[in-house]
């Protein structure tokens, strides 16, 4: 049996790894665009991974890099521009004629369009001086759209996640890690002391994840949501390891291996039994 009902947020997860499209389907549309997310939904993704950061005037915008030059004609940093300035930029300029004129979306726009159709992995792109502000605004946006049971918030920044926990006790949090974390699996959960103590999931690079890692993480009460898994061999290895979520740029390949039913999660937000959290 795949389901781990003793782990946090059992209603969020399925009897197979969830498939999340990394910044949408960015080989078919500009990454982190509404079209990229719509394409992910059309291709049967369970959810989308997206990156959120603050504009100069405190608005939540969806963009991965600190600097804008990779996808636009601007060499400014995101944090230097207001929402109006950012909306004037074209993120489809370098992608192709059909994508020209696409704007950077806001988190509100993404939730308005996909809140009842997809699940969300919202990655915080923090700036040290605005960690608390970003956490507060993301929490408020998720709550405003009633998506507490359809979203997980992740970050490499532990301070940002701690602010997130203070802003919203009910939200699911995931710690992004590049190197293998110490899971303290030999200790009772209430005795654990370390960076994973206030999160429900660990989000590791797939390269160091194996069956033993997943077993220890689950024993420590943590979900395992891996990134970025693209090759057939790696996808099969993650399936065999029984990870909880696969974040991928290769959605079609992943579907052929994991074999999900398209759009099975199009439904109203689900409530959780608080005893399971």
pLDDT tens, 235-246? Answer: 999 999 999 999
User: pLDDT of 59-81, one tens digit each?
Assistant: 999 999 999 999 999 999 999 99
Q: What percent of the chain has pLDDT over 70?
A: 87
Single pTM value for the model: 0.90
Quickly state the pLDDT bin for 6 (edges 50, 70, 90): confident
What is the pLDDT, as a whole number, of residue 272? Answer: 34
Q: Which helix (H) or strand (E) element contains residue 201?
A: strand 201-204
Q: Where are the alpha helices (DSSP H) in 104-231?
A: 107-114, 131-144, 158-167, 211-219
Count of beta carbons in the 10 Å neighbourhood of residue 165? 16
114 closest CA partner among 45, 14, 171, 30: 45
CATH superfamily placement of domain 18-276: Phosphatidylinositol (PI) phosphodiesterase (3.20.20.190)
**Distance between CA atoms of 36 and 96, rounded to whole angstroms?**
14
User: pLDDT of 183-196, one tens digit each?
Assistant: 765 555 544 556 67
The domains of the chain are located at: 18-276
**Distance between CA atoms of 277 and 273, rounded to whole angstroms?**
7
């Amino acid at each position: 049996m795949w389901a781990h009902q003793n782990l946090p947020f059992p209603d969020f997860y399925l009897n197979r790894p969830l498939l999340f499209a990394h910044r949408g389907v960015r080989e078919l549309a500009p990454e982190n665009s509404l079209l990229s997310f719509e394409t992910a939904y059309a291709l049967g993704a369970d959810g989308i991974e997206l990156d959120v950061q603050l504009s100069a005037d405190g608005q939540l915008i969806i963009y991965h890099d600190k600097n804008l030059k990779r996808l636009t004609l601007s060499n400014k940093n995101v944090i230097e521009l207001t929402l109006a300035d950012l909306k004037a930029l074209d993120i489809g300029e370098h992608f192709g004629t059909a994508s020209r004129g696409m704007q950077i979306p806001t988190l509100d726009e993404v939730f308005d369009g996909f809140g009842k159709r997809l699940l969300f992995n919202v990655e915080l792109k923090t700036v040290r001086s605005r960690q608390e502000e970003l956490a507060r605004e993301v929490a408020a946006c998720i709550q405003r759209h009633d998506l507490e049971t359809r979203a997980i918030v992740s970050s490499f920044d532990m301070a940002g996640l701690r602010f997130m926990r203070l802003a919203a006790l009910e939200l699911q949090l995931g710690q992004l890690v590049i190197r293998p974390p110490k899971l303290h699996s030999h200790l009772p959960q209430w005795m654990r002391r370390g960076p994973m103590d206030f999160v429900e999931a660990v989000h590791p690079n797939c390269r160091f994840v194996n069956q033993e890692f997943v077993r220890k993480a689950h024993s420590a009460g943590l979900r395992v949501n891996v990134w970025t898994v693209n090759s057939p061999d790696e996808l099969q290895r993650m399936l065999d390891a029984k990870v909880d979520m696969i974040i991928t740029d290769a959605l079609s390949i992943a579907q052929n291996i994991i074999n999900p039913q398209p759009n099975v999660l199009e439904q109203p937000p689900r409530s959780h039994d608080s005893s399971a959290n």
